[in-house]
Amino acid sequence: GAGVSQTPSNKVTEKGKYVELRCDPISGHTALYWYRQSLGQGPEFLIYFQGTGAADDSGLPNDRFFAVRPEGSVSTLKIQRTERGDSAVYLCASSRGDSSGNTIYFGEGSWLTVV
Amino acid sequence: GENVEQHPSTLSVQEGDSAVIKCTYSDSASNYFPWYKQELGKRPQLIIDIRSNVGEKKDQRIAVTLNKTAKHFSLHITETQPEDSAVYFCAASPGGSYIPTFGRGTSLIVHP
């Protein structure tokens, strides 16, 4: 596609519920990133995929957060037992993922509100 | 891991003035330094980047400088315009991990 696409753009959920956020990266990009951005803060790293595998998941805050990328393209970020503190914009980004450059391109984000 | 500090958090200038935003990083292995502009409710968009083998890079009204020894890099915007008003983020990316670490952002306000 022309850019990184994320759905839903907005999600309001009740505390304790399960949510899934989807990311469709730029075609041909092997690297995919999830970041979280709270109001007035910079993007905070969550997880990085190279192809189908999670090359670095050190930014996931706890075991309620999980992400998959089964076919090396679309990725889903899954949050179990949501808490109010999970409210943020979840940004997905992709890049070519090679040593020639690492410009990452962001999607518009999924605004998650936990009430 | 990498730690990126960004200053100032808010910068207010008059149209036509210059604006400078400064960042420091901690990991000497970082070799790629992008800058992103984020307008309210929009995605961060790359505006300029620099690699560690270059000390300065310019693109029209914006320029970035890098001091590897001091682990400093800066964004310079000349002849600011109201449409430059946005939040600007610096980032540093170690060559091995390809994972950019972002600063906390600078809110630039350009008054007409």
The count of CB pairs under 8 A between chains A and B is 53
CB within 8 Å of chain A, chain B residues 15-44: 32, 34, 36, 42-44
Residues 6+ away with beta carbon under 8 Å from B109: B10, B11, B12, B13, B85
**Whether the Cβ atoms of residue A42 and residue B105 lie closer than 8 Å to each other:** yes
DSSP bridge pairs for B107: B10, B87
Among A39, A102, A105, the residue to mutate for chain B (most B Cβ within 10 A): A102
pLDDT at residue A98 tops 90: no
Residues of chain B by 3-state class (helix, strand, coil), percent to 5: 5, 60, 40
DSSP designation for B60: T
Cα separations (Å) of A30 from A94, A97, A101?
Answer: 7, 6, 13
A106 contact residues in B (CB cutoff 8 A): 36, 43-45
Contact A48 B105 (CB under 8 A): no
Q: Can you tell me the mean pLDDT for A30-46?
A: 95
Task: Name every chain B residue with its beta carbon within 8 A of the beta carbon of A109.
Answer: 43
Chain A segment 38-57 residues within 8 A of B by beta carbon are: 40-45, 48, 56
* Residues facing A79 on adjacent strands: A19, A65
Query: H/E element holding B110?
Result: strand B106-111
Q: What is the pLDDT of residue B46?
A: 95
Q: How far is CA A76 from the centre of its chain?
A: 7
- Check: CB of residue B71 under 8 Å from CB of residue B5: no
**Is a pLDDT exceeding 60 seen at residue A1?**
no
The token pair at A113 is: 């509100």
Note whether B98 contacts A106, CB cutoff 8 Å.
no
Using a CB-CB distance cutoff of 8 angstroms, which residues of chain B are in contact with residue A56? 97, 99
Q: Which residue of B has its CA nearest to A47?
A: B99
Look at chain B and count its residues: 112
Give the mean pLDDT of A10-21: 98
Residue-level pLDDT at A99:
63
Strands (E), A8-109: 10-13, 19-24, 31-37, 44-50, 53-56, 65-68, 75-79, 88-95, 105-106
| Per-residue tens of pLDDT for chain B, all 112 residues | 889 999 999 999 999 999 999 999 999 989 999 999 999 989 999 999 998 888 999 999 999 999 999 999 999 999 999 999 999 999 999 876 689 999 999 999 999 9
* CA R_g for chain A: 13
Interacting residues of A100 by C-beta distance below 8 A, sequence separation 6+? none
Tell whether B60 is within 8 A of chain A (Cβ). Answer: no
Task: Check CB contact under 8 Å for B43 and A91.
Answer: yes
